[in-house]
Every structure is written in C-alpha cells, then in structure tokens.
Structure 1
Amino acid sequence: MFPTPIAKRSRTAQIGYQAFLPLALIVWLLPLIAVALFSIKPDADFTNGNYWGWPSSFEGFTNYGRVFFESNMPRYLLNSLLITIPTMIGAVALSAMAGFALGIYKFRGNLLLFFIFIAGNFVPFQILMVPVRDLTISLGMYDTIMGLVLFHVAFQTGFCTLFMRNFIRALPYSLVEAARVEGVAEWRIFLYVILPLMKPALAALAVLIFTFIWNDYFWAVVLTQGPGAQPVTAGITEFNSQFRAAYHLMSAGSIVAALPPVVMFFLMQKHFIAGLTLGAVK
C-alpha cells in the first residue's frame, strides 16, 4: 500500500534518487534565482536580453534603495503587518476556543456544526469575489485594513478550527475529567489544562496562517486599491507603468516581500515541526 522507503531500495535506486534530488531542487528554485538575479541588474539588461548572464553592472544597492526610498514599499510592508498579525491572532484564538468546544463537548449537532465550520474550505474562492466585494462596500469596509482583517479571520477560522479540533481530540480526555472532579471551571480547564498542551499546534498554525495571509494576492487586489490599505503583494505592481514594467525594481520588491515569511518560519521552525508531527508516533 505504501511505497518502499528509499533506504530499503536497491543501490541503483538510491544513487538515482541522490542524483535526481539536487536537479529537482535546482529546477524548483530557478524562478527564485531569476528574481534574485534581476534584483541586482540594471534595467538595460532586461531590454538587451541578458536574462541569465552576469550583470553588466551591479545595481543591487541602487535597486533596493529605490524600492525603499522612492516608492511606497515601506507603507505596503506596514499594511501587510497590520493585516497579517491581527488576522493570525484572531483566527488562532477563535479556532482554539471553537476547537475546544467541538472536541471536548458532546452535544446534538456537534458534527453538523463542525461541517459548517469547514464547508467554506471546499468552495472555490473565485466565485466569492463579487459577493464579498459588494459586502465590503455595503459595510463601508472596502479598501480598508479592517475589512481585509475581518474577511481573512472569517475565512481562515474554518481551516484553523479543523486543525485545532482534531488536535484537541487526540489529547487524553482523562485530564478534563480529572479537572472537573476537582471542581475546576470549564474556562479554567481551557486556559490551564488544554491550552498549555496546545502550544506546538498553536505555533504551527500561527506560521501557516502568517504565510497564507502575507502571501495573499487575490483578495488584496479585489478588496483594496492604492497604498492606503494594499499589502505588499499587491503593492509590487506599483512598479508597472502604462507602457512598460520595471522588472528590476519588481524583482527587488519581491525579494523584500518574501523575507518576512521566511524569517518567521526559521524563528518558529522547531515549534512548527513539533506541531505537525505531534501524534505521528506513540
């Protein structure tokens, strides 16, 4: 049913795997390498067709300086932080409480309510573009940071609740029963018994949500316009003019925009891996 581990395969298969893996990694990294290369090239290299060659002149400091000091990139980065961090906190907090209720309490309609939480994950988000945009306009939240935050929290809570509920159900229920026998209130059980055990899951979910929201482009374009509320993923298009695109500046801006999720992952790597693999072995 499961493929044979590579360590148990023939020596020929192991050598083929070891030779193919670096090649696959290079192919996968080619777009990122191209973007990084263009971010230090002058604009003339693109018009001259120097896509993969050595830069005719090193313009890294110039390109990144123009991105930071001659554009709205700092504002876009600030907008992304103001959107991503509250969304991450709100979605993780709400899903932790919802997951506790759905995973611990047994009541009529528990499974139906759980299905309602995750039903939105099966709906293609493209078909929601018009009604969501009209809703934000009618509520006066179009092109606002608060509108994006509330929208992302609402849509991410379903996936987060699925994650948290399944994690909580894997915890020993005897801990909850013992706390109840001692007369501990339900909210104290959540705060002092369940929540400390959820730290790996909370960290893993926080990294995932941070990455999802920071890298969102579709809803950033649909629900915002201009530097007042646009996050960095949509703000990079500022370097497009009417007749041509400044690809060297777009590449530099893309590298800057990609750094925060990478830093977030490496800072939380230990907790992220622990949260994803907890329960994989007994």
Structure 2
Amino acid sequence: MSRKWATAGFHIGASALSVLWLLPIVLVLVTSTRSFDDIAANGLGSLPHSFTLDGFRQAWVDGGQERALINSMLVSVPTVLLSLLLASMAAFALSRYELPLRRTLLLLMLGGNLLPPQILLIPVSELTEMLGLYDSLYALIGVQVGFGVGFYVFVLQGFMRAIPAEIQQAAVIDGASPWQIYRRIIMPLARPALAALCALSFTWIFNDLLWAITVLRTDSQMPITASLLNLQGQYVSMWNVIAAGSVIAAAPTVIVFLRFQRHFVAGLNLGAVK
C-alpha cells in the first residue's frame, strides 16, 4: 500500500511540476495569437477573445526578425559545424594517441571554459577591432568557435577513449591511415556524442546575447536574441507582438532538439555508463 501511495504521489508531483513548467509557454503561445485590442480590453491574463497572426507579421516584417533569424542561422550553423570538426580532430588525437602533455592540454581547455566571459568582453572587443572584424558575423563566429572548442574537446575525448583499442588496432593492421581511422571508424562510433553536442551547442550559440552585443553594433548584423531585445523596446505595450517574436526566436532550437532528441538521449546514457 505504501508503495502505491509513493507512486501516486510521484505522478501527482511530476504532473504538477509539468503543468507549472508548461504554463508560461502556453501563456506566450496564446498571447501571440491575440489581438492588441483584446489584450488591452480584457487584460493579459484573461481568456482569449480573438485569434490573429498579425503579431507574427509585425514581428517578422516590421520588427526585423526575418533578417535577424537569417543572421542567427548564418552564425549558428557554420559555428557548430566548424567547432565540432575541430573538436573531434583534437579529441581523436588526444584520446587515441599518447601525446606529450596530453593531460595538461585537456586541463587548459577545460580551465578556459571556467573563466567568466564578462572579464573578457573588452579584450575580445578590442581584438576584433584590431583584426578588422568588428561588427561582422565573422567576428561572432570566431568568438563562438574559440570559446566552445575547449569544452567540446573535453567531452568528445571522453567518449572516444571509451572506444575499444582493438578496433583501431585491427584497422591499422588492415593498412588504414590515421585519417581513415578518424573518418570511417571513430566518427561513426562517436555519433551519439556528436549529436548531443550538436543540439547543445546550437542552442547555446543561437540563444547567445552577450557576445552578439559585444562584437556587433549595426542593427542589420544583430542575431535573433538582440532583435528580440530591440523588439521589446519598439513595441513596449504590444504584448502580442513581443510574444510572437519570442515564439519565432524559440522555434529553431525546439526543432533542432526534436530532430536530435533520440541521439541526444543516447549520448547522455552513453556518458552515464562510461
């Protein structure tokens, strides 16, 4: 009987937490489809009395989110691909070969991710100006790659070290080169880890605001997060437009997570039992 009560209590508590977590999301979705007159007349927390997609049009066209979303994709996709490519190569070398100062390199990469980014804002901004990259998407891509590779290497080398050495030894006997071992054996076996990092890194990069406002200045170069901030200032009391902009900004990361959900969970499970 006590076990049944414990199970029932767990499900009730989990259901309550789920509802509490989903409530703000539902509120934003409902608000984004209401008209401004409806919200002004009945209040933000009232039941909807209208349905319109005009808020999405205003956010997309008048609020500049179309250009901002393109900028975010132009930054996020190349950054994720380049970061994981460089990190997988470095992790392959550090995990499969006895390199000098291997542990030191890993600790330096991990230690770099422990530095608060706030103390590096001014140096990074000045460095991009010296290199002539300030206020360009290339600067933002470079910053995101530089600050992300260390963490990705640290994670990937742990996965790659768990791959049995006999597989690599058999490939060497068959005459495979290090590049062939990396491309045809290690990378396919590390797919769950790469998928998990892909989902995480895309979310981090796409949702980043700090580095965007540090190395960018022109509104036409700003990503979706900075555009959402400007949208809030432009449409101060038009909560339907702000909510619609939030939905647009959140949609790509939700799509990426759903696409890689199976691989993401597999990557977490593999890391848990390694």
Q: Same fold (TM over 0.5)?
A: yes
- For 1:6, the equivalent position in structure 2 comes to none
Which stretch shifts more, 131-140 or 247-256?
Answer: 131-140
Q: Does residue 159 of structure 2 align to residue 206 of structure 1?
A: no
Distance in 1, Cα, partners of 2:28 & 2:132: 38
Give CA deviations for 1:205-264 in whole Å, capped at 9, x if unaligned. 111111111111222222223332211111112324479343321110110111111111
Q: CA shift at 1:44, angstroms? A: 4.3
* Pair 14,172 (structure 1): closer, same or farther in 2 beyond 3 Å: same
- Structure 1: tracts of 5 or more residues without a match: 1-8
Q: Aligned pair in 2 of structure 1 residues 191, 251: CA closer, same or farther (>3 Å)? A: same
Report deviation, 1:30: 2.6
TM-score by length of 2: 0.92
Q: What is the SS of the residue equivalent to 1:74?
A: helix
Matched with 2:28 is: 35
Partners of 2:128 and 2:134 within 8 A in 1? yes
Structure 2 counterpart of 1:191, one-letter code:
R
Deviations 1:6-48 (A, max 9, x none): xxx7222211111111111121223222222221223345555
Q: Indicate whether 1:132 and 2:124 are aligned.
A: yes
Amino acid at match of 1:53: S
Distance 1:244 1:250 in 2: 8
Q: CA deviation at 1:143?
A: 1.8
RMSD between aligned residues: 2.1
Task: Say whether the 8 Å CA contact 2:59–2:231 is kept in structure 1.
Answer: no
TM-score by length of 1: 0.89
2 CA distance for matches of 1:241 and 1:89?
33
Q: Counterparts of 1:37 and 1:241 in 2: how far apart (Å)?
A: 21
In the other structure, the counterpart of 1:92 is 84
Change (3 A) 1:144 1:253: same
Whether the 8 Å CA contact 1:215–1:233 is kept in 2: the answer is yes
CA drift of 1:141 comes to 1.7
- Asked whether the equivalents of residues 87 and 156 of structure 2 are also in contact (C-alpha less than 8 Å), the reply is yes
Superposed displacement of residue 101, structure 1: 0.8
Deviation at 1:88, TM superposition (A): 0.4
CA spacing shift, 1:94–1:242, aligned 2, 3 Å: closer
Residues 175-194 of structure 1 correspond to what in structure 2 (within 5 A)?
175-194=167-186
2:133 equivalent in structure 1:
141
Compared CA separation, residues 120 and 187, structure 1 to 2 (3 A): same
Task: Determine if contact 1:239/1:245 at 8 Å carries over to the other structure.
Answer: no
Q: Shift in Å at residue 108 of structure 1?
A: 2.4
Corresponding residue of 2:257: 265
